[in-house]
Amino acid sequence: QVQLVESGGGSVHPGESLRLSCAASGTPFSMLAMGWYRQAPGKQRELVAKITSGVYITYSDSVKGRFTISRDNAKNTVYLQMNSLKPEDTAVYYCNAQRPAVPPYDYWGQGTQVTVSS
């Protein structure tokens, strides 16, 4: 079992920054692929960024160059540094963990709200 708790969301102005954190417990963190997803009102949940246990990183085109995902295995935590935030980044951001299995199993946090507005 994996439990995920997100933090760091809030309300900011365009161009400002936020840093999201996701603390994991219950399973060896280093074995998990971690990711951030977001869901805006009326839209499906979409991938923002993903980092594997081997530190292979993938970003959505919409955030590439602005967001940075990282992980600290000693703290069982994954981070999402969000710079140059835009109104279209407004969404609930969810932490995701993938357990290597057949089939792979996904764990989800409760989400943290990010609002970008003037």
61-101 pLDDT per residue, tens = 999 999 999 999 999 999 999 999 999 999 999 999 999 88
In the predicted structure, residue 1 carries a pLDDT above the cut 90:
no
Share of the chain above pLDDT 70, in %: 100
**Phi, psi torsion values for 90, nearest 5 degrees:** -60, 125
Dist CA 70 CA 65 (whole Å): 14
Dist CA 108 CA 36 (whole Å): 10
Average pLDDT in the 38-47 region? Answer: 96
- State residue 54's pLDDT score: 84
